[in-house]
Amino acid sequence: MKARWTALALLLSGCRTVETRPVPGAPPPVLRVGARTRAWEVRHGAERLGQVVLFQERGLARDCVYVVRNAWNQDLGLIDGLGRAYRYVPHLDEPTWVGSGTIALGAERILGAADCTLVELETALAGAFEPPAIAAEQVPVDEPLAPVARPSNAPMADDGLPQSR
C-alpha cells in the first residue's frame, strides 16, 4: 500500500514546463535614409511641369529613388533605381505602377505629360521653395540618368526622403 501512495505522490508532484514561442510573421521593416544629391526640372517647352529629385543611400543603382514632384513641390510618384515608375493614387495604400524605362519617361507618365525635357538644376541642395538656378546642360528624354555619389563635404538639406502621404 505504501508503494501505491509513493507512486501516486511521484505522479502528482511531476514538473510542469511552459514553452513560449514567437508567432511567425513579417520581419520588422528596415529604415533606410537617402541623401538628396541631384535634381532636374521637368519642362514642356517653356512651361515648368515639375521636378525630379534623386535620393541616394550609398550611390548604387538599387539604393537610389527618384521622387517626382509637381510644380507645387507635391510628391506625385517615384521611380526606383531600376527604372520602374509608380504614381501615388488617392485613397490607395500602395502606389500604382505606370511603366518602366528611363527617368524622363517615368516622369512623363507620372505627371501625365508628353514630350518633356529634363533640365538639371545647378544645385540639388537648394531650398524646396526658393527658385534654384538652371544649368545650361539638358538631359535627353531617352537617356537614362546615372546615379552620382554625393560629395562627402556636401551639406544635407533634407533629413532623407520626405513623407509622400
pLDDT tens readout for residues 68-126: 999 999 999 999 988 999 999 999 999 999 999 999 999 999 999 888 999 999 764 54
On whether the CB atoms of residues 48 and 107 are closer than 8 A, the answer is no
Flag whether pLDDT at 151 surpasses 50. no
Work out the average pLDDT over 133-138: 44
Work out the average pLDDT over 33-50: 91
Cα angle vertex 117, ends 112, 44, to 5°?
55
Cell of 66: 527618384
Q: Nearest-CA neighbor of 47 among 121, 132, 119? A: 119
| pTM strictly above 0.95 | no
Helix (H, G, I), strand (E, B) or coil at 85: strand
The pLDDT of residue 6: 74
At 23, which amino acid appears? V
